[in-house]
Amino acid sequence: MDLLYKAFIDPFVQMGAAPDLLVQTLWDGLVAGVLYSLIALGFVLIFKASGVFNFAQGIMVVFAALTLVGLHEHGIPAYVALAITIVVMFGLAVSVERLMLRPLVNQPDIILFMATFGLTYFLIGFGELIFGGDPKVMIASELGLPSGAIDIKFAGGFVSLQKIDIAATIIASLMVAALALFFQKTRIGRALRAVADSHKAALSVGISLEQIWVIVWFAAGLVALAPASCGERVRKCPSRSRSSR
């Protein structure tokens, strides 16, 4: 009985007792969810176009962040570093298509899946080789992302909204909306679904697998860049939810 009370009743009592903490927790959950949704979007993009789970998506986030920060450490201004990182992610997409996917056309999905493992280890090693393995600090403020918090008085306490969270939520929502429109309303979106279903049939109607793959890997690289830039937040989240405030 005691256990049932603790599991099903007590949480609601606490919510009622501290509505400000409830709102704060909901907000934190929303922000974390939006950022994770971007990582998920990267998985979905590649899954849709090739039917494989991209094991390397997580490391693509790290690679994007590492490139951005690493370039900045070498004295390149933040915005220029951001532009170069986008170019690097495009280069990565082209290389993945040329060196990894093209030789594996028409192979079973499991082969492509295993290849993404290889890509993961390659990116880990390559990133460390170029930018070194020391811990780095994200250059959020240099990129013009706001810092600090807005405190709103609410129900006897206050709710604290980190400005970077607000920015991240807006950026992430815009990216999700843009990609959804792009893939649902355009010829390329239809081609993408076609490629996911059958490589040879897609080829026979003149869809270029090369082009589609570069597009989705580049898009996956771009959505990896967003959580990377606001990435501090993703790292902070699990510890924050555990702390009792």
Partner 1 sequence: MRAPGGPDIAVGDMLLSVENVSLAFGGVKAVSDVSFDIRKGEIRAIIGPNGAGKTSMLNVINGFYQPQHGRITFKGATRAKMRPYEAAEGGIARTFQNVALFRGMTALDNIMAGRTLKMRKNFVWQVLRHGPAMREEVEHRRAVEAIIDFLKIQEIRRTPVGRLPYGLQKRVELGRALAMEPELLLLDEPMAGMNLEEKEDMSRFILDVNDHFGTTIALIEHDMGVVMDLSDRVVVLDHGIKIADGTPAEVMKDQAVIDAYLGVAH
Among 16, 75, 103, 206, binds partner 1 (CB under 8 A): 206
Rounded to a whole number of angstroms, the minimum distance from the CB of residue 214 to partner 1 is 14
Among 8, 135, 204, 244, binds partner 1 (CB under 8 A): 204
SS3 assignment for 94-161: HHHHHHHHHHHCCCCHHHHHHHHHHHHHHHHHHHHHHHCCCCCCCCCCCCCCCCCEEEEEECCEEEEE
**194 binding partner 1? (CB under 8 A):** yes
What count of Cα atoms within 13 Å lies in the side-chain half-sphere of residue 115? 17
State the Cα–Cα distance between residues 230 and 70, nearest whole angstrom. 16
**207 binding partner 1? (CB under 8 A):** yes
DSSP labels, 161-182:
EEHHHHHHHHHHHHHHHHHHHH
Rounded to a whole number of angstroms, the minimum distance from the CB of residue 78 to partner 1 is 28
Q: Which residues pair with 154 in a beta bridge?
A: 157
**109 binding partner 1? (CB under 8 A):** no
**201 binding partner 1? (CB under 8 A):** yes
**98 binding partner 1? (CB under 8 A):** no
Q: Which is nearer to partner 1, 102 or 163 (CB)?
A: 102
Q: Which is nearer to partner 1, 158 or 182 (CB)?
A: 182
Rounded to a whole number of angstroms, the minimum distance from the CB of residue 197 to partner 1 is 4
Among 186, 236, 240, 241, binds partner 1 (CB under 8 A): 186
Count of residues in the chain: 245
Q: Which is nearer to partner 1, 78 or 212 (CB)?
A: 212
A 10 A CB-CB count for 39 gives: 19
Which of 78, 94, 101 lies closest to 199 in space, CA to CA? 101
> DSSP strand E in the chain: where?
149-154, 157-162
Among 102, 181, 240, 241, binds partner 1 (CB under 8 A): 181
Rounded to a whole number of angstroms, the minimum distance from the CB of residue 15 to partner 1 is 42
Q: Which residues bind partner 1 (CB under 8 A)?
A: 181-182, 185-188, 190-191, 193-194, 196-198, 200-208
